[in-house]
Amino acid sequence: MSGPLQWRPVLPSASTVTAAGFSAEAPEAALDALFLPFESGGLRWPADGRVLFLRARDGQRLRGVAGRGWLCQQSFRPFAGALERGGLRVGEPGADERFPLVLLLPPRQRDEARALYARALRHAEADGVVLACVPNAEGAKSAEADLARLAGPVRSLSKHKCRAFWVALASATVDRGLLDAWRALDAPRENAAGYFSRPGLFAWDRIDPASALLAEHLPDDLRGRVADPGAGYGYLAAQVVARCPQVEAVDLYEAEARALEPARLNLARAVHAAGRAVEVDVRWHDVTAGLPRRYDAIACNPPFHQGRADLPELGRAFIAAMAAALVPRGRLYLVANRHLPYEATLAARFGEVRTLALRDGFKLIAAGSVRA
């Protein structure tokens, strides 16, 4: 590969993706390390400028090198929005689309990461390069070993406590059987509780105990249209269908696009089991941007962290969005870790706030009488 990129000017960046506190702070250390092989001369940019960046994250470092031939893939809606606002082309590659260079920032969950390596190889040209970067604290050595296991010997460089590692496919020895097996890791599958899920989703292989607590206390007199913001693979919404026979419609909102297919499968199964017509809508959506409909009730286990960092302002932003979406006599049922300081936010938005249950470090709160 040879030839320069068409350079894009660096644009100013926002410090947050949403008012909720999803960090839009670019992973500049990881991006710096990712591009180190080009700075050191170990790699050259594709002559035609075509690059696929899987799980791309916005940042000045990225916007300084990305050209018109780049395609940035990102399944988490707030991060995708940050890339779009940075002037980058965001989307999904076609099934048969191939690139001379595929970049990726592998996730922490190992099966999810292995499926992403397999996807990267599928979208790389036969003589292309696959380049990944992982922080040392997030398992860089294991991640590098996985790519080597799949495609043969890799080269690597380290910077800023991150490791960049890559394979040139022209000389690679790809294990085709392992490639197929790892590609299949991302397919929706039933977890131990019998719900469709996939690796990397929140509580993907089980029922989250906080959500289970909320489900147990769902009143059977809920009616009309109900929302489940931050729905994940759809457990709570499925429980609403099963336990609340007067509910006519359920809307699921989830920022992680990988959760949408399992959620649709779980809701279709729940509606069939209920034996009645229930309208279901599953949307890829950042809840902190507001909800597009009004609801008679909302059941929610809101996210409160990004990675390992607690972001209680994220839950508070969910509360604000949900209060704005409820009809005047609407009801909110919210479950959260006991230590999270949501009471003041709830009291400011609702005339009635009650703690229904405390268990295993979680609190279940019911709120009504929305304040104008």
Q: Do 123 and 216 belong to one domain?
A: no
- 336 and 282 in a common domain: yes
How many folded domains does the chain comprise?
2
Domain end, chosen from 152, 186, 220, is at 186
- Residue 203 shares a structural domain with residue 303: yes
Q: Specify if 6 maps to a domain.
A: no
If asked whether residues 275 and 261 sit together in one domain, one would say: yes
Pair 182, 211 in one domain: no
Q: What is the 3-state secondary structure (H, E, C) of 156-188?
A: EEEECCEEEEEEEHHHCCCCHHHHHHHHHHHCC
Site of tokens 């170990």:
42
In a domain, residue 133? The reply is yes
State the pLDDT at residue 15.
35
pLDDT at 28: 85
Residue 5 lies in a domain: no
Residue 178 belongs to a domain: yes
Q: Are residues 226 and 175 in the same domain?
A: no
Domain that includes residue 62, residue range: 28-186
Measure the CA–CA gap between 174 and 155, rounded to whole angstroms: 15
Residue 368 pairs with which residues in a beta bridge?
352
15 falls within a domain: no
Strand partners of residue 134: 163
User: Quick one: 163 and 247 in the same domain?
Assistant: no
CA distance 340 to 96: 46
- Give the DSSP H or E segment for 282: strand 279-284
pLDDT at 307: 52
Q: What is the pLDDT, as a whole number, of residue 365?
A: 97
pLDDT at 252 (0 to 100)? 98
Q: What is the CATH number of the domain that holds 106?
A: 3.40.50.150
| Ordered mean pLDDT values, 10 residues apiece, the chain (372 residues) | 30 37 63 95 96 96 94 97 96 97 96 98 97 96 97 95 96 94 97 97 96 97 97 98 98 98 98 98 96 98 68 90 97 95 95 96 96 87
Which of 186, 216, 241 lies at the terminal end of a domain, its last residue?
186
Does residue 285 share a domain with residue 142?
Answer: no
* Ordered strands of the 155-159 beta sheet: 70-73, 51-54, 99-104, 124-135, 162-168, 155-159
Instruction: Tell me the C-alpha distance between 40 and 362, whole Å.
Output: 50
What's the pLDDT at 311?
A: 72
pLDDT at 372: 80
* Distances from the Cα of 193 to the Cα of 205, 209, 274, angstroms: 8, 12, 18
Domain-located, residue 291: yes
Do 77 and 125 fall into the same domain?
yes
331 and 210 assigned to the same domain? yes
Residues 165 and 294 in one domain: no
Q: Looking at the structure, tell me whether residues 338 and 357 fall in a common domain.
A: yes
Query: What is the model's pLDDT at position 5?
Result: 31
Look at residue 4 and tell me if it is in a domain: no
Q: Are 83 and 151 in contact (CB under 8 A)?
A: no
Here the tokens at position 147 are: 């790519």
Cβ proximity of 58 and 17 under 8 Å: no
Domain boundary among 186, 215, 237: 186
pTM of this structure: 0.90
